[in-house]
Structure 1
């Protein structure tokens, strides 16, 4: 759904007439953006495939957290699949894949976008249950329960996005929405903003705030200073700040530009170019998740190192640290996995 949400009252005609950049030739900006789209796509696919392989081969989805991480990586990876289609349209100022492909790409794009956000939201609740009161919430944190919740998230994403995605068509040479009215478009933007950003963001902030307050309260109630508790609190605080800040930076500009487009009297080249950049920024969120795992999770660093070392064994020129890790250490996993 990302790259096609820019609009104003006369969106269809203006967009089709001006082709976003008013240019018949490809300029330096178009080439630069095409390269950036390609880089984001490759990094996003590679990083999320690595996470998927790590959860399936090494962790075997043995906890609720890794079930959610697997589904998050799957949604992020599939989210990257639609990026070449969007980049092609922006680069050529024309949709060459047909009307049916337009609808399919937008449906899949929307499903994966919303599933990614919903998974991250559920993971924030899962982290709270795991660290605040693990015994109390143990029955809700089984892999089986997490798989049921994940299946529901995929279905809910489909139901959430399907009515809007089916309004996209390529009848005018571009894969853009068929607008009923400016009021209808404002409703669509408000709906996607609330469901895809505002509500999940509030749940994440609420869950993480409650988690940090609980950890601090537990540490202060302890009769003797506990360095491990303090270390855990600091690590979770860094994780919370990183997740919330990166999520906001990647998605808030996208929704802000969508609402600003309602007040554009016509498509302006600078605005259109800036919007294309924030679209790329929203896709970059799917690249950020594997990087956050690698930077903030001891367990995933070990998983990645194990996989990369296995691949490097075939190259005599590469040396690899073959130190073995206890991948079944659920205590370490629950403490350090990104949520």
Structure 2
């Protein structure tokens, strides 16, 4: 789906003019695509193994993180196909592969964004009133919600993905009309960015307000409260900034493409870059986990043999930390 948005508005004659002219920019982009793919697959695979082997999905948070990492990892599977098309200016894998890659691309994109939104709601419930929302935050409930998100993502993207074909040498959808294209852009922008971004902003704003209110009601604030508030503030900034930086330029250029009558090479290259930037969001999450979560940092060190492996008596119980320590552990995980 994203590839279609990046290619549909391109002037095909202009693309073919540069088809045999592989310059430094094309080589650089191919290398960057490869780096993003390797980092995304390696990082998200490490998160998946860490959760299955060490955490064993002991809390709702890690269930959502597992599904987020799974969607982000599968997201990377289609990246070599996209990079090949960008590098050669031609789709060489056939019409069926075009449809399959677009379905995988779309379902994993929406699933990862939806999971991130659910994690932000989960973070708020963990701090606002953990006992009241306890029955909604069990691993079993989180698995049911995650399954629904996968199905909903498939239903969301399937009608558009089935319109893809490689008949014109590129894996792009059949353009019905400008009105149809504007509707597709608006549809994907609302579901894939605006609505999730609003949910995350609202959840984290409410979360920070809750912490601030609890601090005012506490007679004597201690160092741990200040540390928790500072940690959550960094988490909020990281989530909002990274998500916005990776996705907002992509949608801005999508809408700008509607007003491009004569495509310039500069605009085309800029669009290729923002497509890569949107994919880089999927490999950024594991990096942020390692930077902002002490627990995941210990998990990664254990898996990479950088520290002693955890014994059964020292396994991390995320749900216990959540209930007994006012959500300190789970809040420290990037949501």
Choose the corresponding residue for 2:248, options 239, 249, 252.
252
Q: How many Å apart are 1:229 and its aligned residue?
A: 1.6
Choose the corresponding residue for 1:328, options 310, 317, 320.
317
Choose the corresponding residue for 1:299, options 295, 300, 306.
295
Match of 1:131 in 2: 127
Is the contact between residue 110 and residue 153 of structure 2 (CA under 8 Å) also seen in structure 1?
yes
Match of 2:66 in 1: 70
Distance 1:70 1:21, change over 3 A: farther
Q: How many Å apart are 1:108 and its aligned residue?
A: 0.6
Match of 1:177 in 2: 173
Choose the corresponding residue for 1:110, options 106, 113, 116.
106
Alignment of 1:55-94 (within 5 A): 55-94=51-90
Q: How many Å apart are 1:167 and its aligned residue?
A: 1.2
User: What is the CA RMSD across the aligned residues, in angstroms?
Assistant: 1.4
TM-score in terms of structure 1 length: 0.93
Match of 1:5 in 2: 5
Alignment of 1:238-249 (within 5 A): 238-249=234-245
Q: How many Å apart are 1:7 and its aligned residue?
A: 6.0
Q: How many Å apart are 1:4 and its aligned residue?
A: 1.9
Gapped regions of structure 1 (runs ≥ 5): 310-319
Equivalent residue of 1:223, what SS? coil
Is the contact between residue 6 and residue 275 of structure 2 (CA under 8 Å) also seen in structure 1?
no
Q: Could you report, residue by residue, the CA deviation over 1:216-264 in whole angstroms, capped at 9, with x for unpaired residues?
A: 1001110122221221111111001100100000000000010000000
In 1, distance between residues paired with 2:262 and 2:6?
11
Question: Number of matched residues?
Answer: 325
**Structure 1 runs, 4 residues or longer, greater than 3 Å off:** 323-326
Choose the corresponding residue for 1:25, options 21, 29, 33.
21
Q: How many Å apart are 1:21 and its aligned residue?
A: 6.3
Equivalent residue of 1:321, what SS? coil
Equivalent residue of 2:6, what SS? coil
